[in-house]
Amino acid sequence: MDYTILILALPLLSFLVLALAGMKMPHRVAGAIGTLSLGAVAVLSYLTAFSYFTAERTAEGTYPTLTPWNIDWLPFTQQLHIDMGIMLDPISVMMLIVISTVSLMVHIYSFGYMKGEKGFQRYYAFLSLFTFSMLGLVVATNIFQMYVFWELVGVSSYLLIGFYYTKPEAILASKKAFIVTRFADLGFLIGILIYGYYMQTFTFTPSEEQLMKAGMVLPWALGLMFVGGAGKSAMFPLHIWLPDAMEGPTPVSALIHAATMVVAGVYLVARMFPLFIGFAPSVLHWVAYIGAFTAFYAASVACAQSDIKRVLAFSTISQIGFMMVALGVCTSMNPHEGGLGYMAGMFHLFTHAMFKALLFLGAGCIIHAVHSNEMETMGGLHKYMPITHITFLIACLAIAGIPPFSGFFSKDEILTACFQFSPVIGWVMTIIAGMTAFYMFRLYYCIFWGKENKELHAAHVPHESPLNMTFPLMFLAAVTLIAGFIPFGHFVSANGESYDIHLDIQVAATSIVVALIAIGLATWMYAREKQPVAEMLARRYSGLHRAAYKRFYMDEVWMFVTKRIIFRCISTPLAWFDRHVIDQFMNFMAWCTQAFGVTVQPAQSGRIQTYTMWFLGGIILLTLVLLLF
Amino acid sequence: MNLLSLFVLIPLLMLLGLWIARNVNQVRGVMVAGSSLLLILAAYLTVSYIGLRQAGATEEMLFTDSISWYAPLHICYSVGVDGISVVMLLLSAIIVFTGTFASWKLKPLTKEYFLWFTLLSTGVFGFFISTDLFTMFMFYEVALIPMYLLIGVWGSGRKEYAAMKLTLMLMGGSAFLLIGILGIYYGAGGETMNILEIVQQKIPTEMQRIFFPMVFLGFGVLGALFPFHTWSPDGHASAPTAVSMLHAGVLMKLGGYGCFRIAMYLMPTGAAIWGDFFLVLTTISVVYGAFSAVVQTDLKYINAYSSVSHCGLVLFALLMMTRVSATGAILQMLSHGLMTALFFALIGMIYGRTHTRDIRQLSGLMKIMPFLAVGYVIAGLANLGLPGLSGFVAEMTVFVGSFQNPDLFHRTCTIIATTSIVITAVYILRVVGKILYGTCQNPEHLKLTDATWDERFAVICLIIAVAELGLAPYWVSHLISGSVEPIISQLIH
């Protein structure tokens, strides 16, 4: 599998070429370089996956972990060194497929979406950089390599959110995204430092001896690493950057802020899963509680947003919450007894990446057509945009959990795992799944049916997008249609052994009924031209509606922390202290020296009489001293 | 003749050449020829040093040489380098080379400016090659004094005040240093000034207790140790571009280097006694510098405070006294030197066009001067520790190394220091967002032009160096960690 190095090398090369020489290229050439290299990466990823999963299993019935490539990049001590390499195991190979597929679709889509934009070449350069970093993150052979690429995806995300760098909102959003995730990464870094010191290795598999000796610090290390993961994966209360990140170009939102980068935290937990189960099960359950709360919070906020990308952003946060819950409810490595969640979470990651990318790309087509993100400019669009409409509907059905679409299967496994853990979590997650169906169909009706903004549409008739934008939609819709039937448990499961997915009829029936009720409710409230129920509810519970619209004022809380506490209460007084106390003390010392000089200056008057007086006085004094003592 | 002596001889010849030179072009010719020779020499030294080590040379210092200079006090001109000094020489050569291009169009008194500039670099090179306490001190002073004139004459703003303040504070430091050095000399029996020989002697504990803080503070002032850092914001703000580069890039490194090579190496017991006290000060420097940088409005002030924070990290890592953290400290010196030089070069170029460094009056520069703006973003990303650029490598080595020191006090300091990576991101992104992004508000700025060839050349050289260290750190790290070993083994036992 030596060719796997090309999976990393090609996007890096295309980034370098585009960054150094891109500005002089015509748009088409730059786009073609990025897309072709990504196409090659996708082909290589599929090839890797094919040969990996068709190869022999080991004696224990698991797929072997391969390391086709590994170099010592930065040595610290004998045991501790940052390596750069490629590690193939079931989840990293699965991630390769997800990333390369979505990224390729986004590359193709962007040809149409970004057409004629200034900085087209820069856009493709950043896309390549992002893809490179994300691929490097998932194939990392050790936790520090993961951190290296973790930071790189953070920066590429920063650059892409701030792509429209003349827009003040974009600048603020990019800054916020970077700083919030950096804050979380601090936890990750300290976690790595603790892990490295006590385990004497940065690899994912510490020696038995070290584990026996220092297993009790692992909960701390893993908990802190999860903080980093929570930052990237937008878990409450570190989620605040994600909705604002929607200021970036829509294809970027599809790639980074829906399908790939934001699931890095989930991937991190999955990567450390054996250690979590073995040494920190309570931390793992906290992951579940945080995930569940985030899922609920984001779903309730999503019900009240009016910007379609914001709705999708909160829906992403909520769905990542589902994945975290799935991992968090695991109690063992055996998928038959309490370890089902691992497989379920990874499965949901896979299906969610496809249908959420589809939703975002669909939203991109809509925004392209009406030149706005706000729902009030839409409505009735099904007449104008048939392909977008159908594919969007497929994705909505998938996320709502209606069979036979992919989301149903993965969500059903998650719910089964939750019910195995505790019925409370199970019911809570079922209700949140219902909320998901409700707000997604609210979104769907408000865009494609409901009240049409006829004035606006008469002035500027919305149109279907060109083929290079609709092709990715159709492709992803096809994937969404069939992905549910992939025997996912054969490839990925907690202990690596093959696991047959079987539906729990009771759970499946409940979730379908809940989803159908929620869709029915959304249809009743939003499908028609007039929406009296929705307006009445918004009026009667205006406080709640407003709070949800304002995202329960979490942004205000964060603004308070950063502006008031960091700027006003720490930095400003410190800077003042530095200038007025420390510096003035130094100036005071200088002044003292000078003042002393001025004081003794008269002694050097140059008058002989004075000198003689002092001279005689001195002699008399000395004589007296000598005589008396 | 010894290879190392060329590092002093070439600048001296450059001084002669500059003195003879009749017009600006000749001055530039001498500078370019001399500084490129130095760069080539430094590269050659690095290669041959690595070659000798691989061939199995085990002595602590290579290329050693010694000529008696003033026998009654045992003062010798003795030179020698280990991995640490090799990378410092390389760093200095790069900064002097790029600094020449960054001050290409400097006016007035171009010739005099370059004379002092070259004298300063003589001091710097001499300092790094010396192994004799007194010679080292002499070169140290040679490097400090030209700074006064360079800032006082060619500076901007409150230049006389800043020059005076900087010189007096640093001179105050070197007064302590002189006492400390004499203390070491007599403590070690008064028979030799050579570091390599002194280290064989054992200086009495009582003397170490007294003289360690003097030497450490003396160098610490130059390394911007809290609370003796206030010369740095004013000094940098007033200094001309290349002087800021050389000062932040190299001169501040003299502090860290001296603390390690003289204070800690020769007085390990003193380091053990005073370590915790200074560790607290350096931890404060790291966090305090970063927080202070957040609210500054002058670009150079921001960088000066950021330097306080980053140079604080150098001393911090040294005081952690593990092999990895000390390697990290040297890497941090190298990395900070390169990226701060890049930063100051870019700020100088922006200031040269806009005539303001107030971030409230600058905006939208990305559209107007894309090259400088992109360079600024890269420098910023290096500063906040983006993997692939030098800052990351250095910071991570420091943090991993500091974590090897397991007691609670050191652990706490380490965790406090790591918070600086977040605050760094805050002030860097604040500046980038304010001055580069957005739309240009000032119509005057719309007419400005992008970088000229000499500026581009200087910036590109520095970016390449920053990226090289960030992408392929193995050889540098290996080079340094081998040489850190003897010093650290002194400290641990």
pLDDT tens per residue, range A103-113: 999 999 998 88
Q: What is the rounded distance in angstroms from the CA atom of residue A449 to the CA atom of residue A488?
A: 36
Residues A574 and A479 in one domain: no
Cβ B295–A80 below 8 Å, yes or no?
Answer: no
* Mean pLDDT computed over B230-255: 86
Give pLDDT tens digits for B137-160: 999 999 888 888 888 888 887 888
The set of residues, in sequence order, having a beta carbon less than 8 Å from that of A16 and lying 6+ positions away, is: none
Contact B345, B378 (CB under 8 A): no
HSE-up (13 A, CA, CB side) for residue B421: 27
Residues A535 and A571 in one domain: no
pLDDT at A191: 93
Mutate to test the interface with B, among A23, A181, A558, A571 (most CBs of B within 10 A): A571
Which alpha helices (H) appear in B295-434, and where do they start and end? Answer: 299-320, 323-354, 365-368, 370-383, 390-403, 408-418, 420-431
* Mean pLDDT computed over B184-190: 85
Nearest to B292 among A194, A578, A586 (CB): A578
Q: Find the domain containing A358 and state its range.
A: 4-549
In a domain, A299, yes or no: yes
Cβ-based contacts under 8 A for chains A and B: 124
3-state DSSP of B45-58: HHHHHHHHHHCCCC
**Count of beta carbons in the 10 Å neighbourhood of residue A184:** 26
In chain B, the residue whose alpha carbon lies closest to the alpha carbon of A576 is: B292
C-alpha pair distances (Å), A174 with each of A242, B118, B401? 10, 43, 32
CA distance, residue A613 to nearest chain B CA (Å)? 36
Residue A374: phi and psi, rounded to 5, are -85, 140
Q: What is the rounded distance in angstroms from the CA atom of residue B101 to the CA atom of residue B138?
A: 28
Cβ A165–B436 below 8 Å, yes or no?
Answer: yes
Nearest to B439 among A73, A166, A566 (CB): A166
Handedness of CA A401, A403, A404, A410 (dihedral sign): positive
In chain B, the residue whose alpha carbon lies closest to the alpha carbon of A188 is: B418
Return the amino acid letter for A202: F
Mutate to test the interface with A, among B426, B468, B469 (most CBs of A within 10 A): B426
C-alpha pair distances (Å), B324 with each of B89, B327, B332, B391, B403? 21, 5, 12, 16, 9
In chain A, the residue whose alpha carbon lies closest to the alpha carbon of B292 is: A575
CA distance, residue B397 to nearest chain A CA (Å)? 7
Residues A527 and A622 in one domain: no
Residue A600 has pLDDT above 90, yes or no: no
Which residues between 283 and 302 in chain B have a beta carbon less than 8 angstroms from any beta carbon of chain A?
288, 291-292, 294-296
Contact B231, B165 (CB under 8 A): yes
In a domain, A535, yes or no: yes
Contact A161, A252 (CB under 8 A): yes
The pair of three-digit structure tokens given for residue A41, joined into one six-digit string: 């990466």
Residues A474 and A610 in one domain: no
Q: Torsion-angle region of residue B438: left (phi > 0), alpha (psi -120 to 50) or beta?
A: left
Give pLDDT tens digits for B16-61: 888 888 888 888 888 889 999 999 999 999 999 999 888 888 888 8
Residues A567 and A541 in one domain: no
Which residues in B lie closer than 8 A to residue A185 (C-beta atoms)?
A: 421
In a domain, A598, yes or no: no
DSSP 8-state assignment for residue A142 = B
**Count of beta carbons in the 10 Å neighbourhood of residue B114:** 25
Nearest to A144 by CA among A97, A202, A76, A94: A202
pLDDT at A13: 92
3-state secondary structure of B76: strand
Q: What is the rounded distance in angstroms from the CA atom of residue B172 to the CA atom of residue B229?
A: 13
Cβ A194–B403 below 8 Å, yes or no?
Answer: yes
Cβ B227–A582 below 8 Å, yes or no?
Answer: yes
In a domain, A596, yes or no: no
Q: What is the rounded distance in angstroms from the CA atom of residue A113 to the CA atom of residue A120?
A: 10
The pair of three-digit structure tokens given for residue A162, joined into one six-digit string: 């701030």
Mean pLDDT of chain B: 88
Which residues in A lie closer than 8 A to residue B384 (C-beta atoms)?
A: 182
> Does a cis peptide bond (omega within 30 degrees of 0) precede residue A404?
yes
Of A267-271, A408-412, A547-551, A574-578, the one with minimum mean pLDDT is A547-551
Q: What is the rounded distance in angstroms from the CA atom of residue B174 to the CA atom of residue B217?
A: 9
Residue B334 has pLDDT above 70, yes or no: yes
Residue A200: phi and psi, rounded to 5, are 55, 30
Residue A590 has pLDDT above 90, yes or no: no
Which alpha helices (H) appear in B361-407, and where do they start and end? Answer: 365-368, 370-383, 390-403
In a domain, B1, yes or no: no
Cβ A155–B381 below 8 Å, yes or no?
Answer: yes
CA distance, residue B14 to nearest chain A CA (Å)? 36
Q: What is the rounded distance in angstroms from the CA atom of residue B109 to the CA atom of residue B248?
A: 23
Residues A452 and A328 in one domain: yes
Residue with tokens 């004589």: A623
Q: Touching check for B421 and chain A: CB below 8 Å?
A: yes
* Mean pLDDT computed over B398-403: 91
pLDDT at A269: 92
CA distance, residue B154 to nearest chain A CA (Å)? 23
In a domain, A593, yes or no: no
As separate numbers, helices (DSSP H) first and strands (DSSP E) second, chain B gives 22, 2
Cβ A171–B230 below 8 Å, yes or no?
Answer: no
Give pLDDT tens digits for A436-481: 999 999 889 888 887 777 777 777 888 888 888 889 999 999 999 8
CA distance, residue A75 to nearest chain B CA (Å)? 7
CA distance, residue A34 to nearest chain B CA (Å)? 21
* Mean pLDDT computed over A172-189: 90
Cβ A76–B401 below 8 Å, yes or no?
Answer: yes
The set of residues, in sequence order, having a beta carbon less than 8 Å from that of A551 and lying 6+ positions away, is: A240, A243, A301
Residue A392 has pLDDT above 80, yes or no: yes
Q: What is the rounded distance in angstroms from the CA atom of residue A541 to the CA atom of residue A563?
A: 31
Which residues in A lie closer than 8 A to residue B294 (C-beta atoms)?
A: 566-567, 571, 575
**Count of beta carbons in the 10 Å neighbourhood of residue B420:** 27
Cβ A578–B404 below 8 Å, yes or no?
Answer: no
> Does a cis peptide bond (omega within 30 degrees of 0) precede residue A237?
yes
Q: Touching check for B481 and chain A: CB below 8 Å?
A: yes
Nearest to A157 by CA among A246, A235, A85: A246
Cβ B403–A196 below 8 Å, yes or no?
Answer: yes
The total domain count for chain A is 2
The pair of three-digit structure tokens given for residue B478, joined into one six-digit string: 């290996």
Which residues in B lie closer than 8 A to residue A74 (C-beta atoms)?
A: 393, 396-397, 473-474, 477
DSSP 8-state assignment for residue B302 = H
Q: Find the domain containing B130 and state its range.
A: 6-492
Cβ B422–A182 below 8 Å, yes or no?
Answer: yes
Cβ A76–B296 below 8 Å, yes or no?
Answer: no
Cβ B165–A590 below 8 Å, yes or no?
Answer: yes
Residues A213 and A325 in one domain: yes
Give pLDDT tens digits for A151-166: 999 999 999 998 888 8
Residue A547 has pLDDT above 80, yes or no: no
Give pLDDT tens digits for A244-299: 888 889 999 888 888 889 999 999 999 999 888 888 888 998 999 999 999 999 99
3-state secondary structure of A126: helix
Nearest to A179 among B388, B404, B429 (CB): B429
3-state secondary structure of B336: helix
**Count of beta carbons in the 10 Å neighbourhood of residue A593:** 11
The total domain count for chain B is 1
Q: Touching check for B392 and chain A: CB below 8 Å?
A: yes
CA distance, residue A194 to nearest chain B CA (Å)? 8
**Count of beta carbons in the 10 Å neighbourhood of residue A539:** 9
CA distance, residue A302 to nearest chain B CA (Å)? 29
Q: Touching check for B368 and chain A: CB below 8 Å?
A: no
Q: Residue B187 — pLDDT band, cuts 50, 70, 90?
A: confident
C-alpha pair distances (Å), A598 with each of A595, A604, A608, B150? 5, 11, 20, 29
Domain end position, chosen among A520, A549, A578 = A549
Nearest to A574 among B288, B381, B473 (CB): B288
pLDDT at A23: 81
pLDDT at B333: 92
Cβ A76–B400 below 8 Å, yes or no?
Answer: yes
The set of residues, in sequence order, having a beta carbon less than 8 Å from that of B163 and lying 6+ positions away, is: B147, B148, B149, B151, B152, B155, B235, B238
- pLDDT above 70 covers a percentage of chain B that reads 100
* Mean pLDDT computed over B405-422: 89
pLDDT at B166: 87
Residues A540 and A615 in one domain: no
ipTM confidence:
0.90
Q: What is the rounded distance in angstroms from the CA atom of residue B315 to the CA atom of residue B260?
A: 9
Q: What is the dihedral of CA A156, A160, A165, A167, to 10 degrees?
A: -140
CA distance, residue A575 to nearest chain B CA (Å)? 5
Helix (H) or strand (E) holding B66: strand B62-70
The pair of three-digit structure tokens given for residue A521, joined into one six-digit string: 């409710």
Contact A504, A412 (CB under 8 A): yes
pLDDT at B1: 65
Cβ B422–A165 below 8 Å, yes or no?
Answer: no
Residues A348 and A370 in one domain: yes
* Mean pLDDT computed over B475-486: 88
pLDDT at B493: 65
pLDDT at A103: 92
Which residues in A lie closer than 8 A to residue B421 (C-beta atoms)?
A: 182, 185-186, 189
In a domain, B159, yes or no: yes
* Mean pLDDT computed over A208-235: 88
Q: What is the rounded distance in angstroms from the CA atom of residue A94 to the CA atom of residue A82?
A: 24
Contact A291, A321 (CB under 8 A): yes
Cβ A197–B403 below 8 Å, yes or no?
Answer: yes
The pair of three-digit structure tokens given for residue A284, joined into one six-digit string: 């793992």
* Mean pLDDT computed over A572-599: 85
In a domain, A597, yes or no: no
Of A461-475, A546-560, B177-191, the one with minimum mean pLDDT is A546-560
Residue with tokens 């080991």: A58
